[in-house]
Amino acid sequence: MAAIRRGETKYTPVSGIVPLREAIARKFKRENGLDYKPSQTIVCTGGKQVIYNALLATLNPGDEVLIPTPYWVSYPEMVGLCGGTATFVQTALEDNFKLKPEPLDRAITPRTKWIILNSPSNPSGAAYSRDEMKKITDVLVRHPQVWVLTDDMYEHLVFGDFEFVTPAQVEPKLYERTLTMNGVSKAYAMTGWRIGYAAGPEHLVKAMDFVQGQQTSGASTIAQWAAVEALEGPQDHLQTFRKAFEDRRDLVVSMLNQANGLKCPTPEGAFYVYPSCAEAIGRKAPSGKTIGTDEDFVTELLETEGVATVHGTAFGLGPNFRVSYATSNAVLEEACSRIQRFCGALR
């Protein structure tokens, strides 16, 4: 409101207003121990545009972008739109959907230009501890052609005493080829304000600025000033958010594991769980239809019980489904009871 009253309503520099770029540099220092000058930062219209700018500014035809599965649905689509080729490396439920060093090493080719690392993950909620991340960065250090795009949108949604880490912090040798991405959407419940940001090598950020300059120009002025307040203001709400989400995670994981045939690992963060519905495949739903895929599972669940989830194959790994628990405990309890009833009725 103050920014509107002050008349902060005109075009801004493409990469963002100076106070926000300074606040971003301070955030990376304070929370991640990373030194970035404001000139190494860029403000975009949502975290989405950060990723899109980076890919559009760097990909040539034939360049590969390595994406661990399950992945956030937009990554492969953005790679394709930018003329690159998405390649994938599988994770497993037994490893809580975390990438292992050996398969990662095997999946990297001379054409791999980027790897996208998203921790905590949408859709699995999996987050890498410092030791786990170090094993991944050790592999990446050995492949100097690979740049690292970190999607840290869910940084502040980690539970218990879990410590969030980001790749450039764990392995300083990667600093020169890492774009550390974040935003205010999730940590500050500002999804509609559309502010994402990143920091990285100046020449990469400059290339992203060129792309953005011919596309959307600077992000909304009012939203940029609001993001300054979010990053520089009191942070106590984060503790309240974390506690609420941790309780919801525990409720949902426990209730889903009591559903007939579902297997649900306990993730470290974000607000998603990603149970396996492998045992439901081949069974008959109450409607009489045989469940052949995870897409059938979620469609039947929606039609029979009115519970909306997303099938795992949309995220590149199934048969699973994603449950978002960004809603009240009462709704979650009701939804999970319906999922239990649905699973119990499969024949």
Q: Around 11, how many Cα atoms within 13 Å sit in the side-chain half-sphere?
A: 5
Nearer to ligand PLP, 191 or 217 (CB): 191
**125 near ligand PLP (CB under 6 A):** no
**Among 119, 122, 137, 212, interactor with ligand PLP by CB under 6 A:** 122
Give min distance, CB of 346 to ligand PLP, in A: 30
User: What does 266-292 look like in DSSP terms, one character per residue?
Assistant: --SBTTEE--B-GGGTTPBPTTS-B--
**Among 25, 41, 47, 269, interactor with ligand PLP by CB under 6 A:** 47
**329 near ligand PLP (CB under 6 A):** no
**151 near ligand PLP (CB under 6 A):** yes
Dist CA 197 CA 51 (whole Å):
10
Amino acid, res. 136 = I
Q: Using DSSP, state whether 231 is helix, strand or coil.
A: helix
**CA pseudo-torsion sign 121, 251, 313, 185:** negative
- Helices (runs of H) and strands (runs of E) counted in the chain: 12, 10
C-beta neighbour count of 236 within 10 angstroms: 8
Tell me the window of 43-51, 109-117, 218-226, 261-269 that interacts with ligand PLP (CB under 6 A). Answer: 43-51
**68 near ligand PLP (CB under 6 A):** no
**Among 16, 167, 183, 265, interactor with ligand PLP by CB under 6 A:** 183
For 160-182, letters b (16+ CB in 10 Å) and e give eeeebbbbbbbbeebbebbbbbb
The answer to whether residues 259 and 273 touch, using CB atoms and an 8 Å cutoff, is no
Which residues are bridge partners to 85 per DSSP? 64
Which residues are bridge partners to 322 per DSSP? 310
Nearer to ligand PLP, 122 or 224 (CB): 122
Nearer to ligand PLP, 242 or 263 (CB): 242
C-beta neighbour count of 156 within 10 angstroms: 21
Nearer to ligand PLP, 151 or 209 (CB): 151
Give min distance, CB of 97 to ligand PLP, in A: 13
Mask for 186-225, x = binds ligand PLP (CB under 6 A): -----x----x-----------------------------
**Among 32, 41, 91, 118, interactor with ligand PLP by CB under 6 A:** 118
Give min distance, CB of 187 to ligand PLP, in A: 10
**153 near ligand PLP (CB under 6 A):** yes
Going by their DSSP bridges, the two strands 147-151 and 112-118 should be labelled as parallel
**70 near ligand PLP (CB under 6 A):** no
Nearer to ligand PLP, 90 or 324 (CB): 324
Tell me the window of 80-88, 162-170, 183-191, 311-319 that interacts with ligand PLP (CB under 6 A). Answer: 183-191
**185 near ligand PLP (CB under 6 A):** yes
Question: Cα 124 from chain centroid?
Answer: 9
Residues that bind ligand PLP (CB under 6 A): 46-48, 72, 118, 122, 151, 153, 183, 185, 191, 196
